[in-house]
Structure 1
Amino acid sequence: MISTDVGELECVKVTRVRKNSTRKTTLWFSEKYSFIPVKVLQKKDGEEVATMIINSIELNNL
């Protein structure tokens, strides 16, 4: 579960660690909204580099 501006969302969390790199990307996919990515976190050398999180959503035929 993560908190967003569109509410509490139950998500599937996926982490990708690159070979021969200290960069790690973690994505959260919303179960409620057809598994669209609702949060992305990138870290390099253990430090947060970028975070993106959903703040609105417009649904068309979901």
Structure 2
Amino acid sequence: MFSENSWVQVMMGQGITPQRYHNIADAMSREQLDDFLKQIQGTVSATVAALPNHGDFVKQLVAMSKL
């Protein structure tokens, strides 16, 4: 139903936080781990940059509710 990452997000949204990090991090070199985290940071930054600002989002919502 959900991928592992999705389950983590669902659980954290419900206030359930992990007690430890994922074991796969121990199998990665420091360089691999840094690269992986930079990739995640890049994805998040690109996603946020593509989002409308709050005011524009609210205007869109109001306009859609009038349809």
Band the TM-score falls in, shorter-chain normalisation: under 0.3
Per chain length, whose mean CA-contact separation is higher, i.e. which structure has more relative contact order (CA < 8 Å, sep 6+)?
1
TM-score of the two chains, using structure 2 as the length reference = 0.17
Which structure is higher in helix share?
A: 2
Which structure is higher in strand share?
A: 1
